[in-house]
Chains A and B, each alone.
Chain A
Amino acid sequence: MLVPSPWRADFPAIATLQRQDQTYLDNAATTQKPQALLDAISHYYANGAANVHRAQHLPGAHATQAFEDSRSKVAQWLNAGDSGQIVFTHGATSALNLLAYGLEHLFNAGDEIAISALEHHANLLPWQQLAKRRALTLVVLPLGDDGVIDLHAAAELIGPRTRLLAVSQLSNVLGAWQPLEVLLAMARTHGALTVVDGAQGIVHGRHDVQALGCDFYVFSSHKLYGPDGVGVLFSRNEALHHLRHWQFGGEMVQQADYHSASFRPAPLGFEAGTPPIASVIGLGASLDYLSSLDQHAVVAHEAALHDYLLRGLKARNGVHVLGSPQVALVSFVVEGVHNADLAHLLTEQGIAVRAGHHCAMPLLKAMNLSGAIRVSLALYNDSDDLERFFEALDQALDMLR
């Protein structure tokens, strides 16, 4: 094999899927889970579940300890240090909605929010709807042909009316790193708050929120080999005080009367209701597992695999790759072939890839495409997976052309 994965056996589902003749290449949607995570969740439920931050009893103390340990692990993963707070939400989408409601009071009619043309719906719709509620202008930063936000255009569009900039770190369709350093500096110059959607970026390489200098960084656990139902919102201390409480109930309250209440500060004040305790503990286990890997080896493996994928696609007649993907995934269309037909025939052959608009409808529309096929990689994929994909692709194209 040209590119083997030394971590494949750590993910039991991969072997199961293989027995079902399924090749999983839809990792940008969600990832398979390491054994360490399965063990942690099983251990938690087998040894006594309890609610967190409420009870004085021993199971409650254990659960709270494990839950808060996960918070520290997330902070370490992001190198947050004591620069900010980690809030657990129910997903990245939920974290972005928290921001769009929690910051709403800062906006006045005519203010501008800047996003980019490649945003996932999760980092588009909360701001679009906020703009509608407050009569704001949503400014969309255009892309260059390479799928990277056009910095010249951005310099024109980010200005004194910009109150907030919300951009993806890595596009879930185009696989291109975005020039965050420059964009965030532009926003800071004008005193705008900055939000980074790290849902895809967090999975590839390590990122340091202090070095990034963003006010808010958002990601979801399930794309980072963790359980679903958990999102993370990092908030820099200096920006935290802007955030108003959003959802109410549970242990987020300090004092409650019938007609008034006071609320806790972050993080607990933003974690209304019972949080997804087992999933948060599971995320901690996934991060422990990921921390134990040779990070350079992981990055090198992903780069080799991506190169293999990109070369293979470009070698095939009529295949058009979207943008200039750098890592993690490649989206493509084939001349004269409808992506729905191709998706159908790949599915028939046990290739799990994503077809369609990838939750970025405006981007696909702007590219005049009704959809595209996306192959997305994880650290457990190997070149055999890609060979199976290429064989199936050739077979499908043979039938369709």
Chain B
Amino acid sequence: MSLPVDAAAALEAFQAVGSWEQRARMLMQWGERLPVLADDEKVDANLVQGCESLVWLVGRLHDGHWQFAASSEARLIRGLVALLLARVNGLSAAQLQAVDLPEWFNQLGLSRQLSPSRSNGLNAVLQRMQDLCGRGLAPDGVGSATN
């Protein structure tokens, strides 16, 4: 299975990074590219519990393909979420199930962001994504499971 175009670009960029400053700057740049979430989607029902900062995540199935959108008030977690969405958006439910997301962050040189002691929320975001996929539903009831 080939990488989505955005994900391939991210991988190339992050694997070329030499210093922590560069990595942090790039994370913030990716965060800035994350499309803005509508205010009516920034509601408690879409809030990811367990983050230091507020993170909202919504997901919908369109014609059998997942489209996630997210937002956060903190810039670095927004960057991490953007990298996550670059990897998963557009995948079918079956494809998404097959993606090893911790390995994805490992390839990007960001595995430390998933260590159990981190409360930045990336773990919580992954968990939330799994829950959404398990239900095959967006939290606001939009979208529906295909199987």
Residues of A within 8 A of B (CB): 338-341, 343-345, 348-349, 355-356, 370-371, 395, 399-400
Taking the complex as formed, is B7 at the interface, i.e. its CB lies under 8 A from any CB of chain A? no
Taking the complex as formed, is B76 at the interface, i.e. its CB lies under 8 A from any CB of chain A? yes
A339 and B24 in contact (CB under 8 A), knowing A344-B76, A356-B119, A400-B75? no
How far, in angstroms, from A367 to B48 measured CA to CA in the complex?
A: 23
Give the dominant DSSP class at A's interface. Answer: helix
A-B residue pairs in contact (CB < 8 Å), sample of 20? A338-B75, A340-B53, A340-B76, A340-B120, A341-B75, A341-B76, A343-B52, A343-B120, A344-B24, A344-B76, A344-B77, A345-B24, A345-B76, A348-B20, A355-B52, A356-B119, A370-B52, A370-B54, A399-B24, A400-B75
Q: Give the residues in chain B near A349, CB-CB below 8 Å.
A: 20
- Nearest Cβ distance between residue A397 and chain B, in whole angstroms? 13
A338 and B74 in contact (CB under 8 A), knowing A349-B20, A356-B52? yes
Write the chain A residue with the least CB distance to B52: A340
Number of interface residues of B (CB under 8 A): 17
Contact of B120 among A344, A370, A395 (CB under 8 A): A344
Q: Give the residues in chain A near B21, CB-CB below 8 Å.
A: 395, 399
A348 and B75 in contact (CB under 8 A), knowing A340-B52, A370-B54? no
Interface string of B7-47 (1 = CB under 8 A from A): 00000000000001100110010000000000000000000
Q: Give the residues in chain B near A399, CB-CB below 8 Å.
A: 21, 24-25, 28
Q: In B114-147, which residues have CB < 8 Å from any A CB?
A: 119-121
Residues of B within 8 A of A (CB): 20-21, 24-25, 28, 51-54, 73-77, 119-121
How far, in angstroms, from A349 to B121 measured CA to CA in the complex?
A: 20
Write the chain A residue with the least CB distance to B75: A341
Q: Give the residues in chain B near A341, CB-CB below 8 Å.
A: 74-76
How far, in angstroms, from A339 to B77 measured CA to CA in the complex?
A: 12
A348-B24 in contact (CB<8A): yes
B75-A371 in contact (CB<8A): no
How far, in angstroms, from A341 to B52 measured CA to CA in the complex?
A: 10
Q: Give the residues in chain B near A338, CB-CB below 8 Å.
A: 53, 73-75
Chain A CB within 10 Å, residue with most, of B21, B28, B52, B73: B52
Write the chain A residue with the least CB distance to B23: A348
A370 and B53 in contact (CB under 8 A), knowing A338-B74, A338-B75, A341-B76? yes
Additional A-B contacts beyond A340-B74, A343-B52, A400-B75 (14; CB < 8 A): A340-B51, A340-B77, A340-B120, A341-B75, A343-B120, A344-B24, A344-B76, A345-B24, A345-B76, A348-B20, A348-B24, A355-B52, A370-B53, A399-B28
How far, in angstroms, from A127 to B51 measured CA to CA in the complex?
A: 27
Write the chain A residue with the least CB distance to B54: A370
Q: Give the residues in chain B near A356, CB-CB below 8 Å.
A: 52, 119
Ranked nearest first, the 9 interchain pairs of A and B with the lowest CB-CB distance are A340-B74, A338-B74, A340-B53, A340-B52, A348-B20, A344-B76, A341-B74, A341-B75, A341-B76
- Nearest Cβ distance between residue B32 and chain A, in whole angstroms? 13
B52-A339 in contact (CB<8A): yes
Q: Give the residues in chain B near A370, CB-CB below 8 Å.
A: 52-54, 73
- Nearest Cβ distance between residue A129 and chain B, in whole angstroms? 21
Q: Give the residues in chain A near B77, CB-CB below 8 Å.
A: 340, 344
Q: Give the residues in chain A near B24, CB-CB below 8 Å.
A: 344-345, 348, 399
- Nearest Cβ distance between residue B122 and chain A, in whole angstroms? 11
Q: Give the residues in chain B near A339, CB-CB below 8 Å.
A: 52
How far, in angstroms, from A343 to B76 measured CA to CA in the complex?
A: 10
Q: Give the residues in chain A near B28, CB-CB below 8 Å.
A: 399
Q: Give the residues in chain A near B73, CB-CB below 8 Å.
A: 338, 370
Q: Give the residues in chain A near B54, CB-CB below 8 Å.
A: 370
Write the chain B residue with the least CB distance to A356: B52
- Nearest Cβ distance between residue B23 and chain A, in whole angstroms? 8
Q: Give the residues in chain B near A340, CB-CB below 8 Å.
A: 51-53, 74, 76-77, 120-121
How far, in angstroms, from A348 to B74 measured CA to CA in the complex?
A: 16
Q: Give the residues in chain B near A345, CB-CB below 8 Å.
A: 24, 76
How far, in angstroms, from A343 to B75 measured CA to CA in the complex?
A: 12
- Nearest Cβ distance between residue A136 and chain B, in whole angstroms? 29
How far, in angstroms, from A355 to B77 measured CA to CA in the complex?
A: 14
A371-B52 in contact (CB<8A): yes
Chain B CB within 10 Å, residue with most, of A340, A355, A400: A340
Chain B CB within 10 Å, residue with most, of A344, A355, A371: A344
- Nearest Cβ distance between residue A343 and chain B, in whole angstroms? 7
How far, in angstroms, from A370 to B53 measured CA to CA in the complex?
A: 7
Write the chain B residue with the least CB distance to A339: B52
- Nearest Cβ distance between residue B56 and chain A, in whole angstroms? 14
- Nearest Cβ distance between residue B34 and chain A, in whole angstroms? 15
- Nearest Cβ distance between residue B126 and chain A, in whole angstroms? 17
How far, in angstroms, from A348 to B28 measured CA to CA in the complex?
A: 14
Q: Give the residues in chain A near B119, CB-CB below 8 Å.
A: 356
Q: Give the residues in chain B near A395, CB-CB below 8 Å.
A: 21
